[in-house]
Amino acid sequence: MEQYTIKINGIEVTAPKGTTILEAARMAGITIPTLCYLKDINAIGACRICVVEVKGARGLAAACVYPIAPNMEVFTHTPRVIAYRKRTLELLLSNHNCSCLSCVRSGNCELQTLCREYNVNQDAYVGAKTPSEIDDSAAHMIRDNSKCILCRRCVAACEVTQGIGVIGANERGFKTHIGSAFEMDLDDTACVNCGQCIAVCPTGALYEKSNIDDIFAAIADPEKYVVVQTAPAVRAALAEEFGYPIGTNAQGKMAAALRRLGFSKVFDTDFAADLTIMEEANEFLHRVQNGGVLPLITSCSPGWVKFCETYYPDMIPNLSTCKSPQQMFGAILKSYFAEKNGIDPKNIVSVSVMPCTAKKFEIGRPDQAANGVPDLDYTMTTRELARMIKRAGIRWDDLPEEDFDQPLGESTGAGVIFGATGGVMEAALRTAVEKLTGETLARPDFVDVRGVEGIKEATYNVAGMDVKIAVASGLANARKLLDMVKSGEKTYHFIEIMACPGGCVNGGGQPQVHANIRNFVDIRAERAKVLYSLDEANTIRKSHENPQIIELYKSYLGEPGSHRAHELLHTSYVPRVVNKPM
């Protein structure tokens, strides 16, 4: 590939043809600020914060979209550039709700950070503000356009990453705002609650609906027995909220923090991930051996499930009837655990910590109350848990490493990798292959399904049968894969789909990462490394070898696919019709 050498602030940099000034500057150890740019999905040069001076060029250039050229000379922080950026920030503030002290993003807001760095005058430009309303119609999030800076990152995440496009820029000029077609409430659109728009928002314009106050109140109620479960991906990201590097394992400190928050029991959703594999692998084998509907498609991701119900209702029969691990755990907690410990299920408050905002929608779905009470009462994101810990005055650095409670805290390596794209598939294969062949896998690693590629596929010969599998993450990729299946271009036996790119480690409820990092570091891969290292270190790496799972079936469920297992652990789906404006 042709290489160009340029100078940035007098420093020579050599980069491939097509590299932008923004990318070349990063190579030279220089960060150029941005507000709208997101690598691969939103290179529109709209915010004008990334402007630089290019010798010989007229005007200032937007570094995020301006390609380098041979012998180019670039200056990133001249007085002219700094004054331009400062004025742009002050103009943004002139139409911004600056209630920073009460904003959920205070201290972690990209706009706030830049305003502090450029010493802006908040009142430099005073005048009318664009009228805005708060949309809190959806189950998972709130949109406050008074804090929106029209960067359009959320629009790009919805349209490009997820292939849904239920939001966009409405009106023009001073009235421009982000909203849904015909100003519909978000809940009336085909939104799947994935929260990828929240994950990329640079300000407090988008944030999840919080259950923190309700959970604190439940913990303080002496009549309630409040139990918490934590998803595998949470431990791979929570430490970031306390200043630790991306890719830090927070499992031990997380368990300790939850115990100090006052939860009666601290359990691991990985236990239910193992349980999911037992049911899902059994379902897969049953379909293969009895002519059932294939390909079987996983059902762990509620954003994906809602996407299927909305956009591919004809493929609902392909969905596994298994509940997600979160819901399975809640069902077992309020049946098996309640009976074993003599607790009235009505007095149990079941809480989950998830990397996913769609879980807030999932707990309200029909057919998610197996024992006559909701499987889950509250679910909070990784971000919400961090806020709880900080509000309670718990010093993260001083926390010891502690284990989960038993018996619902025992899990295998297969359970923990659920949080990475391909993890559910790999975990299922570890069990399904051994069930089909009757032989023990020497190495239970199926590396073909690992990695952050949007679509992965592989074929494994199992007991004389070629089992064709595929894995997709990100709903735009899911759409591509399903269209190939429907057209007959591709044929598979088993498909895993995760709504969020890279899987749950990159869920809409995970810690928000500044664009300067997100654009140059693959946070999906770094967080996934945590899960795969935990898997490798686990002495038990297959779900069907989990001793607590074995005991659960022996003493309570009977066997995978039993009548009781179906009552507690399986669910149903319905085609969804998007409401149309009158």
Judge whether 337 lies within some domain. yes
Average pLDDT of the segment spanning 100-119 = 97
Q: Of 92, 116, 149, which one is at a domain's C-terminal end?
A: 92
Q: How far, in Å, are 255, 345, 400, 543 from residue 251 at the CA level?
A: 6, 28, 11, 19
Out of 125-129, 258-262, 353-357, 569-573, which region has the weakest mean confidence (pLDDT)? 125-129
Domain co-membership, 271 together with 320: yes
Is the distance from CB of 391 to CB of 246 less than 8 angstroms? Answer: no
Domain co-membership, 520 together with 453: yes
CATH number (domain holding residue 35): 3.10.20.740
Average pLDDT of the segment spanning 365-376 = 95
- Looking at residue 494, its pLDDT comes to 97
Domain co-membership, 15 together with 155: no
Beta bridge pairs of residue 303: none
Strand order, beta sheet including 225-230: 265-268, 225-230, 348-354, 378-381
Judge whether 125 lies within some domain. no
Domain co-membership, 221 together with 165: no
Please, which pLDDT band fits residue 578 given cuts at 50, 70 and 90?
Answer: low
Judge whether 54 lies within some domain. yes
How many independent structural domains does the chain possess?
Answer: 3
A 10 A CB-CB count for 201 gives: 25
Judge whether 108 lies within some domain. no
Domain co-membership, 180 together with 216: no
Angle at 272 between CA 432 and CA 224, to 5 degrees: 165
Helix or strand run (H / E) with residue 15:
strand 11-16
Strand order, beta sheet including 494-498: 296-297, 494-498, 465-473, 455-462
- Find the distance separating the first CA and the last CA of the chain, reported in whole Å: 55
- Looking at residue 582, its pLDDT comes to 38
- Looking at residue 579, its pLDDT comes to 58
Judge whether 394 lies within some domain. yes
The larger pLDDT score, comparing residue 1 to residue 52, is at 52
The residue range of the domain holding 187 is 131-208
Domain co-membership, 53 together with 188: no
Domain co-membership, 389 together with 517: yes
Domain co-membership, 543 together with 562: yes
CA 64 remoteness from chain centre: 26
Please, which pLDDT band fits residue 442 given cuts at 50, 70 and 90?
Answer: confident
Domain co-membership, 341 together with 200: no
Q: Of 147, 177, 208, which one is at a domain's C-terminal end?
A: 208
Is the distance from CB of 150 to CB of 205 less than 8 angstroms? Answer: no
Is the distance from CB of 194 to CB of 159 less than 8 angstroms? Answer: no
Judge whether 113 lies within some domain. no
Judge whether 120 lies within some domain. no
Question: Model confidence over 31-80: pLDDT tens digits?
Answer: 999 999 999 999 999 999 999 999 999 899 999 999 999 999 999 999 99
pTM of this prediction exceeds 0.75: yes
Average per-residue pLDDT for the chain: 96
Q: Of 92, 120, 148, which one is at a domain's C-terminal end?
A: 92
Angle at 29 between CA 23 and CA 35, to 5 degrees: 50
Helix/strand/coil (H, E, C) string of 528-563? HHHHHHHHHHCCCCCHHHCHHHHHHHHHHHCCCCCH
Domain co-membership, 202 together with 255: no
Cis peptide bond upstream of 407, omega within 30: yes
* CA quadruple 282, 288, 292, 293: dihedral, nearest 10: 100
Residue 111 has pLDDT above 80, yes or no: yes
CATH number (domain holding residue 177): 3.30.70.20
- Looking at residue 581, its pLDDT comes to 44
Residue 153 has pLDDT above 60, yes or no: yes
CATH number (domain holding residue 554): 3.40.50.1780
201: phi then psi, degrees, rounded to nearest 5: -65, 130
Instruction: Please tell me the distance from the alpha carbon of residue 570 to that of residue 276, in angstroms, as a whole number.
Output: 10
Judge whether 100 lies within some domain. no
Average pLDDT of the segment spanning 207-223 = 98
Domain co-membership, 200 together with 218: no
Instruction: Please tell me the distance from the alpha carbon of residue 306 to that of residue 481, in angstroms, as a whole number.
Output: 17
Domain co-membership, 365 together with 468: yes
Helix or strand run (H / E) with residue 425:
helix 423-437
Question: Model confidence over 258-299: pLDDT tens digits?
Answer: 999 999 999 999 999 999 999 999 999 999 999 999 999 999
Q: How far, in Å, are 5, 132, 148, 219, 282 from residue 373 at the CA level?
A: 66, 39, 39, 19, 27
* β pairing state of 73-75 and 51-54: antiparallel
